[in-house]
Each structure stands twice: as structure tokens, then as C-alpha cells.
Amino acid sequence: MENKITGHTRLAALFATPIRHSVSPMIHNTAFQALGIDAVYLAFEVGTEGLKQAIDSIKNLDMMGANLSMPNKILAVEYMDELSEAARLIGAVNTITNDQGKLTGHNTDGTGFMRSLQDIQVEIIGKKMTVIGAGGAATAIIVQAALDGVKEITVYNRKDDFYDKIKEKLAYISENTTCTITLNDLSDETSLAKDVAESALLLNATGVGMKPLQDQTPIQDFSIIRPDLAVCDVIYTPRETEFLKQARLRGAKTKNGLGMLLYQGAAAFEKWTGQEMPIEIVKPIIE
């Protein structure tokens, strides 16, 4: 490693399990080195049972902060001194900052997605979007989109055991923002077609399209895709899901989940260092 560790070197970390596959250490250490910041980012195998101690160590070791993955993201909420508005509404923390012992929980997943839209020159502020799925990734995006000023979000989820709970959660987000958010049954294709026709963006925020569902698509009728619709997927393995491919073949602008991954890291980096991540240097690592 080129980075010269000194007595001043500070630590940022990822607390997650499983963890060895994570690209976050590469992203952050490359950015630290590129900008000459005396810091390192390490991955620690931390499950829910060790999370409180790990979070305490942010204060005890005067770390810059940490990132978390599921399910630590949800559990960490109760260990924070403060929460950002996005983290509070989402109910999950993916980034912790340490301001002289005061820990603030942020959620940069939604910010990451919103920023990734700039890569395809898509503007959705003041407009309507349709989201398929209502799990962790979807909720982070819905909250950030609502906070950023998206006017209306129609969410489509399968009618499973979580459906009523999701409805309550979305109503809560809607009441706390200026965005109208409604939940619909994913099997209602007529309603979906109408909402997509009124939307500037259609997003797949389910795991449908990646292993073991790599041959499946979250919608079946692709005639609802039009060339002036932006179509995004949170999935980045494969780089192009069948959903994105079908949308691209119908002329839509498309974007996979790599941008969301990259920019959620960039937002965390900027909170820790006060500096912009050098995207052009970091991007090739994950592509």
C-alpha cells in the first residue's frame, strides 16, 4: 500500500457481515491516497451482536466514522446521538460521522441514487416517478427523492405479508415531506401502465434480475416503456439486467445500480473529509 501510515493517521471503517466482498475499502482508500488525506478505511466483520461495541469504538478511538450494511443499518439507529432527516425517515443508517464524540447517523443510499441520475442527464425534481419494490433500497431512494422535491411517487410491491406495514411507512414519509406517495399492487398492470405513462422515471428496486432471479423481470409488459422515460435498476450484477436491456431496446435512457453504489460512498467520504471524492479516479475501480 502506498499510503504512509503515521501517528496522525485516522480510521474510517465498514461494520458489516459478510464483508470480504466489499468494494468500499478500495473506493475510500483510493480517494484518500489521491487527495493526500492521512486516513485509512478498513473492513471489520461485525454482526448485530457486536455492533454496539463497534459503534462505541468510533468514539473511543476517535475514528472519522463508519459505514454499515444490513441489518446493522437498522439496529444502529438507536445508538446514534443524532439522526439526519433522511436517516430518521428511512429508519436506517448507512454512514456515521463523529463530531468530537457526537455520533450522527446519515443515510447516503438515496443521495447516491439521486446523484447517479446526473450521469444520464435526467431531472425528476417536481415530477413523478414510479418505483417497483419497497424494501431497504427502495425506501432510502423514496425518502431522498421526496426530500429533494420529487412531486409524486407511485410505489408498486407484490402483495406479501409486509404490504400493510409498507403502506403505513409510505404514508408516514408522505406526511413528513411534500411528496404524494401511494402504494399499489404490482399485479395491477393497468394501474402500473397509467402511472408509468405519467412518470419521468421508472425504477426497479427489487432483487428481480439478479441471481437467483437473473432471468426474470419486475414488469412483464414492456410496451409501457417510451423513449423519453428514464429507466433505472438498483442492481449492478449483472451490469445490465433483462429489465434494463428491454428498456434500452425501446429507446429509454437507462442506468444500473453502480452509480448509486459509487455516489453513496462519495457522500459518506464528503461528510468525513469535507472534500469531494475524486470520482474520475475512483469510478474505474468498480466498473
Residue in 103, 183, 208, 232 binding ligand NAD, rule: CB under 6 A = 208
For position 160 contacting ligand NAD by CB under 6 A, the verdict is: yes
> Is 194 one of the catalytic residues?
no
Alpha helices in 36-134 (DSSP H): 51-60, 72-75, 85-90, 109-116
Residue in 66, 87, 138, 224 binding ligand NAD, rule: CB under 6 A = 138
**Strand order through the sheet with 39-45:** 39-45, 10-16, 65-68, 95-99, 102-106, 82-83
Stretch that binds ligand NAD, among 3-11, 78-86, 222-230, 232-240 (CB under 6 A): 232-240
Residue 278: asked if its preceding bond is cis (omega within 30°), the reply is: no
For position 236 contacting ligand NAD by CB under 6 A, the verdict is: yes
Which residues are CB-neighbours of 26 under 8 A, at least 6 positions away?
285, 286
Which residues are CB-neighbours of 154 under 8 A, at least 6 positions away?
128, 129, 130, 131, 181, 182, 184, 195, 199
- Taking the complex as a whole, how short is the minimal distance between the CB of residue 138 and ligand NAD, in angstroms? 6
Nearer CB in complex with ligand NAD: 135/278: 135
Closest residue by Cα to residue 263 from 97, 114, 162, 157: 114
For position 207 contacting ligand NAD by CB under 6 A, the verdict is: yes
Backbone angles phi, psi at 7, to 5 degrees: -70, -10
Residue in 11, 210, 279, 286 binding ligand NAD, rule: CB under 6 A = 210
Residues in contact with ligand NAD, counted by CB under 6 A, come to a total of: 26
Helix (H, G, I), strand (E, B) or coil at 269: helix
- Taking the complex as a whole, how short is the minimal distance between the CB of residue 258 and ligand NAD, in angstroms? 7
Residue in 147, 257, 266, 282 binding ligand NAD, rule: CB under 6 A = 257
For position 181 contacting ligand NAD by CB under 6 A, the verdict is: no
Amino acid occupying residue 268: A
Residue in 92, 196, 200, 235 binding ligand NAD, rule: CB under 6 A = 235
Q: How far apart are CA 142 and CA 177, in angstroms?
A: 11
Catalytic residue among 52, 73, 128, 159: 73
Contact 40, 32 (CB under 8 A): yes
Residue in 234, 252, 267, 282 binding ligand NAD, rule: CB under 6 A = 234
For position 158 contacting ligand NAD by CB under 6 A, the verdict is: yes
For position 66 contacting ligand NAD by CB under 6 A, the verdict is: no
Amino acid occupying residue 173: I
* Contacting residues toward ligand NAD, per CB under 6 A: 70, 109, 133-138, 157-158, 160, 186, 205-208, 210, 213, 218, 234-236, 257, 260-261, 264
Residues labelled as active-site residues: 73
